[in-house]
Amino acid sequence: MKKKLAETSRIHAPLERSFLKLSSPIESFINSQALTGMALLIAALIAILMVNLGWQQNYQAINSLMLTISLGEWQFGHTVHYWINDGLMVLFFFILGLEIKYECLVGALSNIKDASLVVLMAIGGMLLPALFYLVTVWFGDVDSFQGWGIPMATDTAFAIAILTLLGSRVPRSAAVVLTGLAIVDDMGAVAVIGLFYTEQIDSLSLVWAGLTLLGLLLINMLGMRRPVFYLAGGVLLWWFILQSGVHATTAGILAAMMVPTRPYAKKTWFRHKMLKLVKTYQEMDNPNTPIIEDKKRHALAIQAEDIAKRTTTPIIRWGNSLDKPVSLIILPLFAFLNAGVLLPSVMPEAKDLVITLGIVLGLVFGKGLGISLFAWLAVKSGIARLPANLRFYHVIGISFLAGIGFTMSLFISALAFEGQPLLIEQAKLGILFGSLIAGILGTCILILVPKKQTEI
């Protein structure tokens, strides 16, 4: 979190004061939690408009654009769509893995009793959506049961963005519960991808992936904390898992589990070194000499930065460094390349609506009822309790917000119906409409909660 400097402590460029009047609100918005959800929404809308306003061929051309890496006679080329879904999205799963590891160690999932509520809510939010989908497909007599994993997922970015926009109407504990729920939900989604959406396994590549993972673990245990070692190991892990037949994004989760959680130095060393550094800085400080003219003071400032890095944990520092590029570049690119769906101009036949309806019912009622029911059972049985200031009204609202399954649902649909573009289109319609309905219902429920219930 950046510390805001007072005006008296700033050194302004000649035109900076005027520029800050324009840039400061923009910077505040960029640093807000709502921006990721907005970026995803805009990217998805652009894709939908392109497909439905006569630019479908251009949209497909962008998806099919080939990007090739070559070295001599060796070549590795794939479409832009492939590079995003199977390549850059690994970074999204890497950050997700860092969050899972952090929450399990010291966060909302670190204590079994405290974690029981979000774990049970997540289980309900995975079982009932899958059940709603399977029942719908069974009654519709359509052989598309493999799509059962699509409505299980939750898009944390969209859901948290809505909570942020609701502000004081929702207690802070609601965001904590929703985040914990989404993380457990994502763990389930990753397990589903690895276990059920993997076709053929290349055992040798899997062995090499296992050895690479052991190498990353050894690097961690040896106390190496330089990002380059984990980057090289992560790329190798991604390559071997890609060749093994297991979906490549699993590499992101596995690599994140190997990231060090211990800092290089103790807090006492940090305090001692920083106090000594500040004292040295004060002794040589000359208010009339700019720092650009004093290399020694400049070196002290650089040293302070190095001391800070040595006493922060890689799991937090690396996650913070990757968060903005992933949430504002990679995820919107993924949304743009995957959300383009041709909206039907006439009413489709009943058999063409089964998958769409199954996903809508799963995301809206499966999530809403499943999460609420399991939360109620957990509280009534005494297994768990609601956090302070959180009422069951809020739980119901959160349950429907969790039905926004945009990013992960689109990802799973591409795996479930690989090579079947018509079924993917039907799934996309269900994801878009289901997420929209669930988001609206969840927002309305939270807005209608009596004001006295939301006081913090």
Comparison of pLDDT for 438 and 283, the residue scoring more = 438
Q: What is the pLDDT of residues 57-99, one digit of tens each?
A: 888 888 888 888 777 777 777 788 888 877 888 888 788 788 8
Helix spans in 140-249 (H): 156-166, 172-196, 203-221, 227-244
C-beta neighbour count of 80 within 10 angstroms: 17
In Å, how far from its chain's centre is CA 369? 24
C-alpha to C-alpha distances, 276 to 106, 273, 289, 294, nearest whole angstrom: 31, 5, 22, 19
pTM of the model: 0.69
Rounded Cα gap, residues 432 and 369, in angstroms: 20
Confidence band, pLDDT 50/70/90 cuts, at residue 261: confident
Topology at the third CATH level for domain 34-198+247-262+313-454? Na+/H+ antiporter like fold (1.20.1530)
- Which tokens go with 415? 């795996």
Domain boundaries of the chain, sorted by first residue: 34-198+247-262+313-454, 267-310
User: Which sign, positive or negative, has the C-alpha torsion 371, 374, 377, 380?
Assistant: negative
Confidence band, pLDDT 50/70/90 cuts, at residue 24: very low
Q: What is the pLDDT of residues 277-291, one digit of tens each?
A: 888 877 776 666 666
Q: What is the pLDDT of residues 93-140, one digit of tens each?
A: 788 788 878 877 776 666 676 678 888 888 898 899 999 999 998 887
Phi, psi of 77 (to 5 degrees): -125, 140
Rounded Cα gap, residues 312 and 188, in angstroms: 30
CB-based burial label for 203 (10 Å; 0-12, 13-18, 19+): exposed
C-beta neighbour count of 185 within 10 angstroms: 27
Q: What is the DSSP letter of 328?
A: I
Residue 1: in which H helix or E strand, if any? Answer: none
